[in-house]
Amino acid sequence: MNNLILLGAPGAGKGTQGKNLQEQLGIPQISTGDILRENVRTKTPLGIKAREYMDSGALVPDEVVVNMMAERVRQPDCDKGFILDGFPRNTSQADALTAILKELSKDISCVIGVEVETKELIRRLSGRRVCRGCGLIYHEIFNPTMNTGVCDECGSETYQRDDDKEDTIKARIEVYEKETRPLIEYYKKLDKYFGVNGIGPVDAITEKILSNVVKGCDNP
């Protein structure tokens, strides 16, 4: 079974790789950011609470995110595995995840660290566009749509995320360095961390993850 975590700074390509891996492995990509943004869009109580944190680039409080994920990984589509994108984000979330999975007699198979330097992260985030319909991720220079502002796949409008503005991008990278980067050591100590260079063509990185990492950490 593949119970995977995608770890990496904002803009490293977790969402992009998660979508490819979901297609190749047939297990769901679960993005905490996507779930939270959907709650913000539909103005649920959770979304109203989360919005102020997300707009400033801060982490949404642990109890909100942990409860949300405890419910999500119990869904039947996770029976054959899952790809967590954006969770856990700090050591207390990582401890909570271990406890949630233990209750389900499951464990993390491996943690894939997508490694990209800060200058490149800023270039990627400031040009990112996302499809409102199917969620496909584009970049206005590196991976543009054929028609500006229109998704190639489903024809919906593409948009720039509210937190992809310069000041918020900087704040998010700082939060990553302080809160999330320590998870690399955390999972290295558990012998579950595999770093992958996140620079290069998207499909070549997916191939690298599949052949070098996922095969090696598959739990029978």
DSSP state of 128: E
User: Near ligand AP5 by CB under 6 A, which window of 4-12, 71-79, 98-106, 187-195?
Assistant: 4-12
Q: Report the DSSP beta bridge partners of residue 31.
A: 85
Residue 51 interacts with ligand AP5 (CB under 6 A): yes or no: no
User: Residue 165 or 218: which CB sits closer to ligand AP5?
Assistant: 165
Q: How many angstroms separate the CA atoms of 24 and 201, rounded? A: 17
Stretch that binds ligand AP5, among 30-38, 97-105, 151-159, 184-192 (CB under 6 A): 30-38
* Footprint on residues 182-201 left by ligand AP5 (CB under 6 A): 200
Q: Is 172 in the site for ligand AP5 (CB under 6 A)?
A: yes
Q: Which residues are catalytic?
A: 14, 89, 128, 161, 172
CA dist 163 and 11 (Å) reads 12
Please give the Cα distance from 16 to 142 (Å, whole number).
Answer: 13
> CA-to-CA distance for 19 and 219, rounded, in angstroms?
21
**Could you say which of 4, 5, 7, 11 contacts ligand AP5 (CB under 6 A)?**
11
Q: For the CB of residue 68, give the shortest distance to ligand AP5 in the complex, in Å.
A: 9
For residue 36, state whether it binds ligand AP5 (rule: CB under 6 A): yes
User: What is the DSSP annotation of 146-211?
Assistant: SBTTB-TTT-PBEE--TT-SHHHHHHHHHHIIIIITHHHHHHHHTT-EEEEE--S-HHHHHHHIII
Name the token pair of 29: 């990509």
| Cβ atoms within 10 Å, residue 154 | 12
Q: Which residue is nearest to ligand AP5 (CB)?
A: 33
Q: Which segment (13-21, 145-153, 188-196, 206-214) binds ligand AP5 by CB under 6 A? A: 13-21
Judged by CB under 6 A, does residue 5 bind ligand AP5? no
| Contact string 152-171 vs ligand AP5 (x = CB under 6 A) | -----------x--------
DSSP 8-state class, residue 143: B
Judged by CB, which is closer to ligand AP5: 140, or 218? 140
133-138 contacts at long range (C-beta below 8 A, 24 or more positions apart): 133/157, 135/19, 135/34, 136/19, 137/15, 137/16, 137/19
Say how far apart CA 154 and CA 201 lie, in whole Å: 23
Considering the rule CB under 6 A, would residue 144 count as an interface residue with ligand AP5? no
| Interface residues toward ligand AP5, by CB under 6 A | 8, 10-16, 32-33, 36, 53-54, 57-60, 65, 86-87, 89, 93, 124-125, 127-128, 137-139, 142-143, 163, 172, 200, 202, 205
